Chain A
Amino acid sequence: MNRQRHPAHGRRRFLMGAAAAGISLKLPAGAFAADGEVNFYNWDTYIGETTLEEFEAATGIEVQYDLFADNAELFAKLRGGNPGYDVIVPSNDYVEQMRMADLLLPLDHAKIPNIENVDPLFMDPAFDPGRTFSLPYMWGTIGIGYRKSAVDAAPDSWSDLLASDRYAGRIALMSEPTTVLQLAMKTRGHSLNDWTDENLAEAEALLIAQKPRITAFAPDNGQDLLLAGEVDLAMEWNGDILQVMEEDDDIGYVLPKEGSIVWEDTLAIPVGAKNVENAHALIDFLLGAEVGAGIADYVQYATPNAAAKALMSEEYRTNPAIYPSEAAMEASETSVFPGQERMRAIDEAWTRVKAAG
C-alpha cells in the first residue's frame, strides 16, 4: 500500500469499509415480513426454464436454488440435520427411507389447494399412504436407449443388455447398484423387490458374466455416451434418452418386455425447514396446471398432474417413451426400500461386480 496516498485516514477508511460490509450482510429472513425466501433443493435440469422466475414474480418469495446429483447425496446431506432446505425432491424409495428416519414434515394439504390437480392414481401409494409426507412431481421408467442404425432390430429384452453378447463392447449400464441388480433379477424372472440371497447371488453372477461385454458403468451420462457414439445401447432414465433423441433422430427408446422400474420423484419438506409456509406455497405453485405443463414440456418426463397433462400436446401424451403401453406398465414394478440390512448385502454384491475382471 502506498503510504503517501492514504496518510492519516487509514483507520477511518477501514472503519467505513467495515460498516459498508456489515450493511451488505444478508438480513435475517424475517426482515421482509410477507415475502421472505424458500430454499429449494432439486435434481439438475429438472424444472422449467422460467418456472422459478414465475414463482418469484407471483408470490414475491425469493428462491434459493441448489442442486444435488442423486438421492444418496440428498440423504447424506439431511441425515446429520437439515442444513437449511425447505423443499426437496426425493424419489419414492427414499421417501420411505426418510420417513423411517423421521426426516420429513407432514404436509398440510389445506395449504396446497392445487392438490386437486394430481391424478387420483397417485394419491395413495404404498410408500406414502394418503400422501402425508410427499406429493408427486414427475414419474417415469428406466429402459434402453439405442442407436437405430447400429442394431438390426430394436432391443426388446433386458437380456440384450445384461445377458447376450450381441452388442458386446457397445453397452453402457447405470452406475446405480440397486437399479442394475434389480433389473438383473427381473431378467431372471424375479420381482425386483424380492431381495432373497439366492436372487441376489443370481443377479450378481449374471452381471459378472456380462462384465467383459460392458463398455461403461455410466454415472448419469449414459445418454451422452450414446449420443457420442461410444456405445450403441444404454440403460437410462426415459427422460434422459428423450433429451438426446431431440438432438439425434437415430436414437430410440424402448421399455423391455419383461417390464421395468416405475419411479416417482416427489416434493417434500424436510424436518427443520425454516420457511414452512413458503415451502407449502412453492409446492402448491409447482402443482399448478400451467406450471406443471411448462415443466413437463421442458424436462420431457411423465407428469402425475392430470390438469397439466390435459394441457400438453397430443405428441407428448401419446409418446410411448413418456407414457408406456398398458402391457408394459402391467409388467413393471415400483421399487420398495429394501431395508438397511439388505442394503449392505446389495453393496457387497455390487462391490464384487465392480471389482471382477
Chain B
Amino acid sequence: MDDARRRPLAFAAFGLPVLLWLGLFFVVPLGIVFLYSVGENVSITRIETTWTLDNYARITDPVILGLLWRSLWLAGVATLICLVVGLPMALVIATSSPGAKPWLLLAIMLPFWTNLLIRTYALLNILGTRGRLNDALGWLHARARALLEMFGLDGLGLLAERFVPLTMLGTPSGVIYGIVYVSLPFAILPIYSSLERMDKSLLEASLDLGAGQWTTVRRVLVPLALPGILTAALITFIPALGQFLTPDLLGRGQVDMIANVIERQFKKANDWPFGSALSLLLLYVTFILLALRAFGDAARANRPDRARGLPA
C-alpha cells in the first residue's frame, strides 16, 4: 500500500465510502441528538431546538450525579477485574503452543457469538438464591457438616448450622459480576494481540539478568503490553458505563445505573431532550478518555527509544 500523500486519488476512492458511511450513520444521528439535547418538548411528540441549557442543568441534580458516580464506580471496578483476570489469560494464550492457540482463542470468542440477553439470563439462573451456585455451595456445606459430625466436631461452631445462600442478584456485586462476564472477551483480545507481538526473549533476558518473576512482570511485561492493556481498559469501561440490561436483570432493578435513567427518558418519561443530554454526557466522557489515550500515545512516541523496549 502506498502512502496516502503519494496516491491521493486512490486514497480518496477508498476513503470516500467510509467517510460517507461515518457521516451518514454516525455524525448525522449524533448531530440530531445534540439538537434534541438543546431543545425542549413543545408537544407530546415534537421537539423544538431552542438552544436551551435546561437539560444539561438538570444533570446537576444530586440524584443524577449520584447515579453517574455509581455508574463510573461500577464500570471502573468491573474494568479493573477484567484487566486483572484478562492479563494472565491473555499471557497463557500468547505463550501457548501453535496447536493449542486457535482452540484457546475460540474458547474466548465463543461467548461473543451468543446473544447478550441469553448470556445474562444464564447468569440469572446461576446466581439466584436457588440458582446453581447456591445449590453447589449448599451441597458442599452439607458434606462439610456431615464430615464434622462424623468426627464429633459439629458443636464447636466451626461451620454455621444452616447454610445461608449467597445473595448475588439485586446487589452491586451481582451487577459487577454480570459486566465482567459480558466484557471479558473484549478485554482479553487486545491484551493478547499486544502480547503476541511482544518479543518474548526480553522476558528471558530479564530473568537471566537476575530480576525475579514478579519484577519481570512489573517492569518488563506490563510496560510492553501497555498499549493493549489501555485499549482493553477503554473497550471494557465505555460499554460498561452504558449498561442498562445488566442492572435491570441481574441488579433486579435495585442497582440503577445512568443508562437506566436514559432509557426511561426515551420511553416511559417521553422526555427525549433530557435523555439526549444525558447520552451526550456519556459521549463526552468517552471522548475525554480517548483524547487522554491519544495524548498518552503521542507522549510515549516522543520518549527515547529505551522506554519503548527497543535497544537504545
Bound: A77/B266 CA distance, A: 10
Contact of B266 among A70, A76, A214, A348 (CB under 8 A): A76
CB distance from A37 to the nearest CB of B (A): 27
Asked whether any CB of chain B lies closer than 8 Å to the CB of A55, the reply is: no
Contact across chains for A351 and B264 when beta carbons are under 8 A apart: yes
Q: What's the nearest-Cβ distance from chain B to residue A261, in Å?
A: 16
A340 touches B264 (CB 8 A): no
Q: Mark B284-303, 1 if CB is under 8 A from A, else 0.
A: 00000000000000000000
Q: In whole Å, how far is A314's beta carbon from the nearest beta carbon of chain B?
A: 37
Query: Which of A97-105, A143-151, A185-193, A241-249 has 4 or more CB atoms under 8 Å from chain B?
Result: A97-105
In the complex, chain A residues whose CB is within 8 Å of the CB of B271: 343-344, 347
Interface string of A217-238 (1 = CB under 8 A from B): 1110000000011100000000
Contact of A100 with B254 in the complex, beta carbons under 8 Å: no
Chain B contacts for A348, CB-based, 8 A: 61, 63
- The residue that A101 contacts in the complex, of B44, B61, B130, B266, with Cβ under 8 A, is B44
What is the chain B residue whose CB lies nearest that of A337?
B44
Min CB–CB distance A102 → chain B (angstroms): 8
**Chain B CB within 8 A of A352 CB:** yes
Q: How far is the CB of A69 from chain B (nearest CB, A)?
A: 9
Partner of A100, one of B44, B67, B253, B265: B44
Query: At the interface, yes or no: B43 with Cβ under 8 Å from chain A?
Result: yes
Candidates A76, A97, A215, A230; contact of B267 at CB < 8 Å: A76
Residues of the B chain whose Cβ atoms lie less than 8 Å from the Cβ of A175: 248, 253
Over the window 219-256 of chain B, the binary record of Cβ atoms lying under 8 Å from chain A Cβ atoms (1 yes, 0 no) is 00000000000000000000000000000100011101
A79 interface residue per 8 A CB criterion: yes
Q: How far is the CB of A256 from chain B (nearest CB, A)?
A: 22
Is A229 touching B256 in the complex (CB atoms < 8 A)? no
Does B41 have its Cβ within 8 Å of any Cβ on chain A?
yes
Q: Assess whether A216 is in contact with B44, with CB atoms less than 8 Å apart.
A: no
Which residues on the A side are within 8 Å of B252 (C-beta)?
Answer: 215-218
A215-B170, A230-B130, A355-B256 in contact; A347/B269 too (CB < 8 A)? Answer: yes
Evaluate contact between B253 and A177: CB separation under 8 angstroms.
Answer: no
- Interface pair B253/A72, CB less than 8 Å apart: no
A101-B45, A175-B248 known; A343+B128 contact, CB < 8 A: no
Name the contact of B63 in the complex, choosing from A70, A215, A217, A351 (C-beta under 8 A).
Answer: A351
Asked if B129 lies at the interface with its beta carbon under 8 angstroms from chain A, I say: yes
Contact B253 A219 (CB under 8 A): yes
Do A351 and B128 form a contact, CB below 8 Å, given A100-B44, A217-B253? no
Distance (whole angstroms) from the CB of B111 to the closest CB of chain A: 23
What's the minimum C-beta distance from B272 to chain A, rounded to whole angstroms? 9
Q: A215 vs B251: C-alpha distance in the bound complex, in angstroms?
A: 10
- How many angstroms from the CA of A346 to the CA of B270 in the assembled complex? 11
Annotate B31-50 by CB proximity to A: 1 below 8 A, 0 otherwise. Answer: 00000000001011100000
One digit per residue, 1 when the CB lies within 8 angstroms of any chain B CB and 0 when it does not, for chain A 103-125 equals 10000000000000000000000
Q: How many residues of A contact B (CB 8 A)?
A: 37
User: Are A97 and B44 neighbours in the complex by a CB distance under 8 Å?
Assistant: yes
A127: min CB distance to chain B, Å:
15
Tell me whether A228 and B130 are in contact (CB under 8 A). Answer: yes
**Contact assessment for A229 and B63 in the assembled complex, using a CB-CB cutoff below 8 Å:** no
Instruction: Give the nearest-CB partner of B249 in chain A.
Output: A219
Chain B residue at minimum C-beta to C-beta distance from A214: B254
Report A1 CB to chain B, min CB distance, Å: 23
Output the least CB separation between B247 and chain A (Å).
9
- Check: B206 CB closer than 8 A to any chain A CB: no
In the complex, how many angstroms separate the beta carbon of A242 from the nearest chain B beta carbon?
A: 23
Closest CB of chain A to B76's CB: distance in Å? 18
Q: Which A residues, 6 to 52, have Cβ-Cβ distances below 8 Å to chain B?
A: none
| The one of B63, B128, B169, B265 that contacts A355, using a Cβ cutoff of 8 Å | B63
Q: Are B44 and A347 in contact (CB under 8 A)?
A: no
Task: Considering the complex, give the chain B residue whose CB is closest to the CB of A216.
Answer: B252
Given A216-B170, A354-B253, verify A79-B44 contact (CB < 8 Å).
yes
Q: Are A72 and B45 touching (Cβ within 8 A)?
A: no
Q: Within the complex, what minimum Cβ distance (angstroms) separates B222 from chain A? A: 37
Q: Which of B61, B63, B67 has the most CB of A within 10 A?
A: B63
Q: Is A334 an interface position by the 8 A CB rule?
A: no
Q: Are B256 and A354 in contact (CB under 8 A)?
A: yes
Please tell me which one of the listed residues B45, B61, B66, B256 contacts residue A103 in the complex, with CB atoms under 8 A apart.
B45
Please determine whether B265 and A79 come into contact, CB atoms closer than 8 angstroms.
no
Q: B297 → chain A, closest Cβ, in Å? A: 37
Q: Which residues of B contact A214 (CB under 8 A)?
A: 254
Residues of B within 8 A of A211 (CB): 254
CB of A178 closer than 8 Å to a CB of B? yes
Determine the chain B residues whose CB is within 8 A of the CB of A228 once the complex forms. Answer: 128, 130
Interface string of A328-346 (1 = CB under 8 A from B): 0000000000001001101
Contact present for A351 and B261 (CB under 8 Å): yes
Given A216-B254, A218-B253, A347-B265, the answer on whether A79 and B130 have CB atoms closer than 8 Å is no
Q: Counting CB contacts under 8 A, is B306 at the interface?
A: no
- Bound: A108/B61 CA distance, A: 49
User: What are some 8 contacts across the A-B interface (CB < 8 A)?
Assistant: A73-B267, A101-B45, A103-B45, A175-B248, A217-B253, A229-B130, A355-B67, A355-B256
Additional A-B contact list (19), CB under 8 Å, known A76-B270, A347-B269, A357-B254:
A72-B270, A79-B44, A100-B44, A101-B44, A101-B45, A177-B268, A214-B254, A215-B252, A216-B169, A217-B254, A218-B252, A228-B128, A229-B130, A347-B264, A347-B268, A347-B271, A348-B61, A351-B261, A354-B256
